[in-house]
Amino acid sequence: MTKAITISEVGPRDGLQNTKIFMPTDAKKRWIAALAAAGLREIEVCSFVNPKLIPQFADAAEIAAFAMTLPNIQVVALVPNLKGAERAAETGVHKISLPISASEAHSKSNVRKTVDEQVDELKRIVALRDALPAGRKMEVNGGISTAFGCTLQGEVPQADVLRLVERIAAAGADTISIADTVGYANPKQVREMFVEARRIAGPKLDAAHFHNTRGLGLANCMAALEAGVTALDSSMAGLGGCPYAPGASGNVITEDLVFMLEAMGYSTGVDFDKLIAARRILEEALPGAEFHGHLAKAGLPKGFKEAA
Amino acid sequence: MTKAITISEVGPRDGLQNTKIFMPTDAKKRWIAALAAAGLREIEVCSFVNPKLIPQFADAAEIAAFAMTLPNIQVVALVPNLKGAERAAETGVHKISLPISASEAHSKSNVRKTVDEQVDELKRIVALRDALPAGRKMEVNGGISTAFGCTLQGEVPQADVLRLVERIAAAGADTISIADTVGYANPKQVREMFVEARRIAGPKLDAAHFHNTRGLGLANCMAALEAGVTALDSSMAGLGGCPYAPGASGNVITEDLVFMLEAMGYSTGVDFDKLIAARRILEEALPGAEFHGHLAKAGLPKGFKEAA
């Protein structure tokens, strides 16, 4: 039986947040529509951050509302705080994700709050979710950032991350994801972390999120899969990076990840030709940006067939 | 206990064979000396191919003889045939490696022989080894190329590779390595292949050799490690590719591989600062060549310690 893996395309959020050029709203829409048409099942479409801090997301509400008109995708938005969650809720997105740093130094740099304060913010967001009108469903994800180390703080003890997993679950989040924000993780560390986190959070443990800063992105995805993870974040063309984590660079590359998974017999639902077509839209809309990816360059192996 | 992994640096051979610029002999020597000084335990220093076909290796004998003067390294040379093996034997190298394609199409393109003819060539080389004077030891490796697919032939059945493992062992090779010459392999395929190959060849099964053409190099290294492999080929700056396999591109990047292994607690013996110093020599000697590698760009994580 073919096992399905959910790839959450975070390019429109994690990718664009670190891109200096403003991607025109229409191009964003065409790109997101093309990503959905390529078969990606989940797309993180924007961030409801203060647009004064990241002007790229000045059109967040319009983008989120547009994405909600597309069939067959789970629409996700990042929210840095309760205010962002309120704005996101108005657009009707299926899921919001609140970043909560395992590193105090990154927490202060990224959301200007201590870790404790950000956990309290999560509780307020959970209350917002619970107060939504009957029939209006919006999942809340707690996304643990800098879980494998931090360029500001250095080492981040596994125990700190696991305690945060426990607190996020207790606060009432629907799902928990764990992120290597700055590309420090190695496969051994990843396997151990996800095995332990699953012991604590059970099925609430959701996506693994890796950056390819040191080239280990796909190896870390493999390790997460081996630990039972079935949802992986990645970004088209490997765009990405946290503007408030010095030295953070591109995410795992969606095209390469899809190839690896399909070659191994996992089902991602993604059609390669359509995925490459979506990449062309991105390339045309962001001239001069740095695009990564081996598969877009090398093409599929001769006679390659995608999994059923 | 820290487990030791042997990284066989194939840059001076696999890397340079696909590089259009001739690297001056003196620069090659300085580079190889720097690689050895960085702690790499095995270096494939040249190819005893006909220099009319690959002029880069016109100085193979001089390079091999020089490498034999360096302490604490295993010196390896590629030989395409018996004539190359005879030339290599004169230089006293510790090990020679004969490529034997699992794909008939690549075999004819690469060594102008059928697979059967190349296995016969291996037998003649084993006889050469056995006829060396007492006390003169030269290991013979049979290196199975295009083991995970071929840009000329397409799919390469696992059974063809395993039959070749058996024949190479029976022919008297000391070791057997398995290579993904064109970057088609995926981790699932790699794990299965090395588990099965070990069942046949036992401790004769030696290195895994991957190209990063589709970005899966390190993930494939992980899979090989999980299958019990303890020797991995890689190339500094990810140079490499087979001139007779269309579409083949760079090897697994040594710097990134060393980082992954050391971060996971494996011991490679390599010192990072010295490794980067060796890369500088390469960069200066090959202006305009395409150098890869995440670690050389991003640096080590804050507070990172190499394994003991």
Per-residue pLDDT, B244: 79
Enumerate the residues of chain B whose CB falls inside 8 A of the CB of residue A252: none
Q: What is the number of CB-based contacts under 8 A between chain A and chain B?
A: 117
Of A126-130, A239-243, B267-271, B279-283, which gets the smallest average pLDDT? A239-243
Over 90: is that where the pLDDT of A247 sits? no
Per-residue pLDDT, A136: 93
What is the nearest CA distance from B219 to chain A, expressed in angstroms? 4
Which CA distances in Å does B304 have to A184, A289, B298?
9, 30, 13
Per-residue pLDDT, B308: 56
Structure tokens at B80: 């395409």
User: Coil, strand or helix: which one is A197?
Assistant: helix
Global pTM reads: 0.95
Cβ distance B215 to A302 less than 8 Å, yes or no, reads no
Please give the residue of chain B at the shortest CA–CA distance from A153: B302
Per-residue pLDDT, B172: 98
B267 touches chain A (CB under 8 A): no
Per-residue pLDDT, B241: 79
- List pLDDT tens digits, range B166-217: 999 999 999 999 999 999 999 999 999 999 999 999 999 999 999 999 999 9
Cβ distance A214 to B295 less than 8 Å, yes or no, reads yes
A218 touches chain B (CB under 8 A): yes
Per-residue pLDDT, A249: 80
φ/ψ (deg, to 5) at A43: -135, 125
Per-residue pLDDT, B288: 85
Q: Residue A214: which of B188, B247, B294 has the nearest Cβ?
A: B294
Per-residue pLDDT, B59: 98
What lies within 8 Å, CB to CB, of A190 at 6+ separation is A148, A180, A208, A210, A220, A223, A224, A227
Structure tokens at B286: 């090959």
User: Coil, strand or helix: which one is A207?
Assistant: strand
Clarify whether B242 is annotated catalytic. yes
What is the nearest CA distance from A280 to chain B, expressed in angstroms? 19
| Cα gap A267→A258, rounded to integer Å | 9
Sequence ranges of the domains in chain B: 6-298
Over 60: is that where the pLDDT of A102 sits? yes
Q: HSE, CB side, 13 Å, CA atoms: give it for residue A211.
A: 28
Per-residue pLDDT, B240: 87
B57 touches chain A (CB under 8 A): no
Chain length of chain A: 308
What is the nearest CA distance from A105 to chain B, expressed in angstroms? 14
A252 touches chain B (CB under 8 A): no
Which CA distances in Å does A168 have to A128, A227, B241, B286?
16, 20, 48, 52
Cβ distance A298 to B247 less than 8 Å, yes or no, reads yes
| Cα gap B26→B286, rounded to integer Å | 13
Per-residue pLDDT, A205: 98
Cβ atoms B112, B156 nearer than 8 A: no
Architecture of domain B6-298: Alpha-Beta Barrel (3.20)
Please give the residue of chain B at the shortest CA–CA distance from A296: B214
Mean pLDDT of chain A: 95
- What is the mean predicted confidence (pLDDT) over A49-61? 96
Per-residue pLDDT, B145: 97
What lies within 8 Å, CB to CB, of A85 at 6+ separation is A48, A79, A96, A98, A125, A128, A140
Over 70: is that where the pLDDT of A308 sits? no
User: Angle A126-A100-A128 (CA atoms, 0-180°, nearest 5)?
Assistant: 15
Regions of chain B with pLDDT less than 70: 1, 307-308
Enumerate the residues of chain B whose CB falls inside 8 A of the CB of residue A259: 214-216
A254 touches chain B (CB under 8 A): no
Please give the residue of chain A at the shortest CA–CA distance from B301: A184
A302 touches chain B (CB under 8 A): yes
Q: Tell me the residue ranges of DSSP E strands in chain A.
A: 6-9, 42-47, 74-78, 95-101, 139-145, 175-180, 205-210, 231-234
- What is the mean predicted confidence (pLDDT) over A265-281? 97
Per-residue pLDDT, B305: 79
User: Coil, strand or helix: which one is B154?
Assistant: strand
What is the percent of chain A with per-residue pLDDT over 90, rounded to a whole number? Answer: 91
ipTM of the complex: 0.93
Q: How confident is the model at residue A245 (pLDDT cuts 50, 70, 90)?
A: confident
Please pick, among A46, A150, A221, A242, the residue that the annotation labels catalytic: A242
- List pLDDT tens digits, range A167-215: 999 999 999 999 999 999 999 999 999 999 999 999 999 999 999 999 9
What is the nearest CA distance from B167 to chain A, expressed in angstroms? 27
Per-residue pLDDT, A19: 86
What lies within 8 Å, CB to CB, of A134 at 6+ separation is none
